[in-house]
């Protein structure tokens, strides 16, 4: 039986590893990698290459094998086994892009040591304050070191915290051969934030039996369920006529859009739902008298309810068209990804290993369903079962994003522990 010496040594070097995590994380977040949902190229923004190339150089320098950056900006590498017996090959994945919802240009990180539980002034000039009155989860990190921005950009902990943890764990395992492990694969894909992170992922080349995305939020999160997801495009035709002579002639597409929106359940929206409750989310709209476009996402964990939601969405348009006497509303629904639970449950030992790895790091696992999706949900349906583990950040995709350094350190320990436990269990 292997001892958990890797975790013990990592914990003993707390201060040194903390500073290394901070330095590495800051070097990543100050590179703008914001993706673009309106660009169909791979990657969707050229600037994602900047971080990919830096990581390619860094992975080579710390001693990983088979470092390869492909033509689509997918960076893969391997850590060879240091044991004689054969064990499953495991993988760790974190995406390099940041959300298109909020700017990631010119990130100015701020480091707050020994957080006192009070308001954090991010930007005095613009009166931007990160307050536990608004985000009470801050209080669980009193006494810890928090990294924030200056309030004018997102931070990029989603998912550069995950990248930091994976690289740091691999470097540790290379420098500590007494920690026994099988072959480990890592991949840093682009464009996860625009739903394309798994589209050109070469699962065969990755060649892992299973993997984990380090893409969750607060410490302890362990997830193997996510939403079934679809997009809903609503296109409404109108007719423009001089308003003084419009009676019986004008068709105002914006008014029809308002009628369509009113047909959907008012309580089934993100801001009024939680846990396993699904929703319809209007996230974009544009229009004039002649044409209005509504952009929705449709979500539900339960596959049967998900299918019913899509039918209900289409039926609302059909009924409204019938009442108008014309087919003025066109609906286009496209499935995006599915609940990974179906693919993970047959191999639940991979969740059990992650849970044990957290307990070995003195972390209470918080196993719950993701109210969203990760690359892991698509990869699970591509033949690579892929639960999601916390990376430590909070308030993703906005100016109030922050990450406790201690959470990143614990996530790094979990990666090391997973490697050890897998080697032990398959001895």
Catalytic residues: 97, 192
DSSP 217: -
CB 146 within 8 A of CB 408: no
The structure tokens listed for 157 are 């902990």
Q: Which two tokens stand for residue 311?
A: 């039918």
DSSP 258: H
Helices 405-425 and 5-12 meet at what angle, rounded to 10?
Answer: 160
- In this structure, are strands 388-390 and 210-216 parallel, antiparallel, or unpaired? parallel
Q: CA-to-CA distance for 360 and 358, rounded, in angstroms? A: 5
- From residue 73, give the alpha-carbon distance in Å to each of 205, 264, 270, 306: 15, 40, 32, 33
CB-based contact 105:79 (threshold 8 Å): no
Length of the chain in terms of residues written: 427
DSSP character string of 282-312: EEEEEE-SSEEEEEEEEEESSHHHHHHHHHH
DSSP state letter for 273: -
**108 burial level (CB within 10 Å; 0-12, 13-18, 19+):** middle
Cα-based distances in Å from 115 to 145, 182, 334: 6, 39, 45
Judge whether 298 and 333 are in contact, CB under 8 Å.
yes
Beta sheet of 65-69, edge-to-edge order? 65-69, 75-79, 184-188, 90-93, 210-216, 388-390, 221-225, 366-369
Please state, in angstroms and rounded to a whole number, the distance separating the CA atoms of residues 267 and 273. 7
């Amino acid at each position: 039986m292997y001892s958990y010496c890797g975790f013990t040594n990592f914990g003993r070097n707390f201060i040194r590893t903390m500073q290394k995590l901070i330095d590495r994380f800051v070097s990543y977040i100050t590179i703008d990698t914001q993706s673009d949902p309106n660009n169909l190229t791979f990657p969707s923004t050229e600037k994602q290459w900047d971080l990919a190339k830096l990581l390619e150089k860094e992975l080579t320098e710390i001693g990983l094998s088979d470092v390869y950056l492909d033509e689509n900006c997918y960076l893969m590498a391997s850590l060879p086994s240091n044991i004689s017996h054969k064990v499953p090959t495991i993988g760790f994945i974190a995406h390099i892009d940041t959300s298109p919802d909020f700017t990631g240009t010119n990130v100015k990180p701020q480091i707050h040591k020994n957080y006192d539980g009070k308001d954090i002034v991010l930007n005095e000039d613009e009166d931007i304050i990160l307050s536990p009155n608004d985000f009470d989860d801050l209080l669980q990190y009193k006494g810890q070191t928090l990294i924030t921005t200056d309030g004018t950009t997102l931070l990029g902990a989603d998912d550069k915290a995950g990248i930091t943890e994976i690289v740091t764990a691999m470097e540790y395992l290379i420098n500590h051969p007494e920690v026994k492990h099988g072959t480990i694969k890592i991949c840093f894909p682009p464009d996860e934030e625009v739903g394309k992170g798994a589209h050109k992922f070469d699962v065969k080349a990755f060649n892992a039996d299973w993997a984990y995305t380090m893409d969750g939020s607060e410490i302890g999160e362990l997830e193997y369920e996510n939403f079934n997801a679809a997009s809903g495009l609503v296109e409404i035709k109108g007719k423009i006529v001089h308003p003084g002579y419009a009676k019986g002639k004008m068709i105002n597409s914006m008014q029809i859009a308002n009628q369509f929106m009113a047909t959907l359940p008012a309580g089934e929206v993100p801001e009024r739902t939680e846990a396993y409750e699904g929703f319809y989310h209007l996230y974009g709209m544009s229009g004039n008298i002649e044409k209005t476009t509504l952009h929705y996402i449709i979500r539900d964990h339960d596959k049967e309810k998900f299918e019913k939601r899509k039918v209900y969405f289409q039926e609302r348009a059909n009924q409204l068209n019938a009442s108008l006497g014309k087919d003025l509303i066109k609906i286009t629904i496209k499935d995006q990804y599915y609940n990974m639970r179906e693919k993970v449950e047959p191999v639940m030992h991979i969740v059990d290993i992650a849970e044990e790895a957290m307990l070995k790091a003195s972390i209470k696992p918080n196993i719950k369903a993701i109210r969203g999706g990760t690359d892991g949900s698509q990869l699970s349906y591509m033949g690579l079962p892929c639960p999601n583990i916390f990376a430590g950040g909070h308030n993703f995709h906005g100016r109030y994003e922050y990450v406790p350094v201690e959470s990143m350190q614990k996530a790094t320990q979990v990666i090391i522990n997973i490697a050890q436990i897998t080697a032990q269990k398959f001895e």
